[in-house]
Amino acid sequence: TVQHQGGNGVCFYTPEMALAASRRTLLTMHLAHAVQRNELNVVFQPIIEAKSGRVAGAEALLRWSHTNLGAVSPAEFIPIAEDSGLIVSITDWVLEAVADQVDRWHGEGVQCGRVFMNVSGQQFLRGRLTTRLAELMKEKPHLAGLIGIEITEQAAVRDLKATVQAISELASISVETAIDDFGTGYSSLSYVQQLPITKLKIDRMFVDGVPHNRKNSALVRAVVGMAHGLGLTVVAEGVETLAQRDFLTDVGCDLLQGYLFSQPVPPKTLVILIGDQPDSWKSSPRIGSMVP
Ligand code: C2E
Ligand code: MG
Ligand code: MG
Ligand code: MG
**Of the candidates 5, 206, 42, 64, the residue with the CA atom closest to the CA atom of residue 117:** 42
Identify whether the C-beta of residue 236 lies closer than 8 Å to the C-beta of residue 257: yes
**Nearest ligand 1 atom, CA 120:** 44
pLDDT at 77: 98
Q: What is the pLDDT of residues 177-202, one digit of tens each?
A: 999 999 998 888 888 889 999 999 99
Query: HSE-up of 261 (CA within 13 Å, CB side)?
Result: 35
pLDDT at 37: 97
Name which residue sits closest to atom 17 of ligand 1, judged by CA: 238
DSSP state of 283: P
* Mean pLDDT computed over 271-285: 83
Q: What is the pLDDT of residues 51-79, one digit of tens each?
A: 999 999 999 999 999 999 999 999 999 99
For residues 125 and 122, give the distance between their C-alpha atoms in angstroms, rounded to a whole number.
6
Q: Which residues line ligand 1 (CB under 6 A)?
A: 45, 61-62, 73-75, 78, 94, 117-120, 150, 180-181, 204, 237-240, 258-259, 264
Which of 63, 83, 116, 118 to mutate to test ligand 1, by most ligand atoms within 8 A of the CB atom? 118
CA of 181 to the centre of ligand 4 (A): 5
pLDDT at 8: 59
**pTM for the full predicted model:** 0.93
| 201 alpha carbon, closest ligand | 3
Q: Which residue has the higher pLDDT, 11 or 20?
A: 20
DSSP state of 265: B
For residues 236 and 255, give the distance between their C-alpha atoms in angstroms, rounded to a whole number.
6
Percentage of the residues of the chain whose pLDDT score is greater than 70: 94
Res. 238: pLDDT tops 60: yes
Q: Could you give the angle at the alpha carbon of 263 between the alpha carbons of 236 and 88, nearest 5°? A: 80
Res. 291: pLDDT tops 50: no
